[in-house]
Structures are given as C-alpha cells and as structure tokens.
A = this chain, B = another copy of it.
Amino acid sequence: MTTITSTQNPHLKTLKRLQTKRERARSGAFLAEGEDLVAAARAAGRPVLEGFRVAGGANLDAGVEDFFEVERSALAAVSSLGSGSRVAAVYRQLWSAPTGPLCVYLHGVGDPGNVGTILRAAQAFGASCVALGPRCADPHAPKAVRASMGAIFSVPIARVAGPADLPGERIALVADAPGALVGDRDGDVTLLVGAEREGLPEDVVAACERSARIPIASESLNAAMAATVALYEMTRQASRVPAS
C-alpha cells in the first residue's frame, strides 16, 4: 500500500470533513482519533469504515495493519489532535431506541465534553441508554468522543423529541426539589438532567412522574457531575448493603 502524503487525498479529505457536524449528519459516520479510542471500538466489535495510521509509526497497536499509511505531517493536518496523532478511524453512527432499565435523558446539554463525560459515567454505572433531547451537543463530535473514553462505542444512544418518549418512571433532577434522589426502584427509570445554568424547563419537569434533588451544599453541579452522582445513587445499592 502506498503512503498518503497529501492532505488533498480524497480519503483524508473525508476524514477532515467529519470534524464538522454537517458532514457527520450527512454521512451518518464519525471519527475516532487516537489508539485508545480505536482499541475501544475494536473491543466493542465495531467495524472500521476507513482507518489511517501514521507512516513508520513504531509500536502501534495490533489491528491497524490494514489502515491507510499517512505521512505524519498530513495526518497531523487533518486531525483534531494535531501533531500527536498516530491513528484515526471512521465508524458508522449507531442510534438506539430509548430503553430501560436505567436511562439518562439530557435536555439542552450543549457542551460536547459534558455529553461525552456522561456517556462515560453511563458506562461506568451500567446505565442502559443515554437519550438526547433538544439542544444537546452531538455525541459524535470529536470532543465528545474523546471525553467518552470509548463509551461512545458501547453505550446505547438515542435521540428523542422530549420526555414523552422516555421509558419507565421519569425522575427530573431539579436543584430545589423537596426530596433527595433515593436509589430504590422497582421498574424502569429515566433520570432527566438539564443544562448547567438553566436546568430543566418547567414543561419537562411537569411531564415527569416526580422530581428529586442531589443533596449538595453549593448552588450547582455541572450536568456531567449531576448525572454521575445520580447514576451512582441509582446503582450503588445493587452492589453493596446500605450503610447502617
């Protein structure tokens, strides 16, 4: 296989275009950069549509043998990681239906780093799905994919129009709710998380079966921290006895 040396190579141009939301929406594909993410995709059994590796890159992981070889400077020029880039690959986006038993719904969480971190927390605590409502960041944006630390490949992700589409008992996380979140549940549950400053809109809260707060001393947690703590609360009792 010949080494790609020009950033005008059509494969590399596709790679670069996938950094835009428009091209991701058009193609239904997305990009993972770096060996850890590519290894996470492989572990999740996700096929590579097109793979790229730096020419002469010593000590690359196994599994990239059939990737295009790309001259270091050309790969750096199209990568969001810049000069440290050694491996990148294109994957198909997979979207799921919103499913229980433990779904997390995000409303207006516009920061891709927060969306990715929540995917990671969903994986860490065994959530069944992350459902994205209006005005959320694209979970396949490079920054979200990186923050997910590979969870983008294993956590089911759904797009929904609003709370009516969510499974099970819907619990709105609201800073001033009278009762704290308590993680005992019988059936399916969806936790609803809003944006950092705005929180959840009133009509979304009103559509839920109940609301709950996370007990904190100061004003706010960001969406990722709130979701992480809520998932912990909902799952911790499965793995140990409550403190006496």
Contacts and interface: CB of A to CB of B under 8 A. Distances in A.
Interface in A174-232: 179-180, 182-184, 214-218, 220-222, 224-225, 228-229, 232
A242 B228 CA distance: 19
B239 A215 contact: yes
Interface in A2-40: none
Q: Which of A149, A218, A244 has the most CB of B within 10 A?
A: A218
Interface in A121-147: 121, 123-126
A180 B236 contact: yes
Q: Which of A121, A124, A149, A221 has the most CB of B within 10 A?
A: A124
A233 interface: yes
A239 B244 CA distance: 15
A235 interface: yes
A182 B225 contact: no
Contacts of A179: 240
B125 A216 contact: yes
A13 to B, nearest CB: 29
* Total identical chains: 2
A237 B244 CA distance: 10
Interface in A100-126: 117, 120-121, 123-126
Nearest to A219: B124
B217 A240 contact: no
Contacts of A238: 215
A243 interface: yes
Given A225-B117, A233-B232, A235-B215, A240 B124 contact: no
A222 B232 CA distance: 14
Enumerate the 6 nearest inter-chain pairs by beta-carbon distance, A residue then B residue, closest first. Answer: A215-B239, A126-B217, A124-B216, A184-B243, A180-B240, A182-B243
10 contacts: A125-B216, A125-B217, A126-B217, A151-B218, A182-B240, A182-B243, A183-B243, A215-B236, A224-B225, A237-B243
Given A180-B240, A183-B243, 7 more contacts: A120-B222, A123-B218, A124-B218, A124-B221, A124-B225, A126-B216, A184-B244
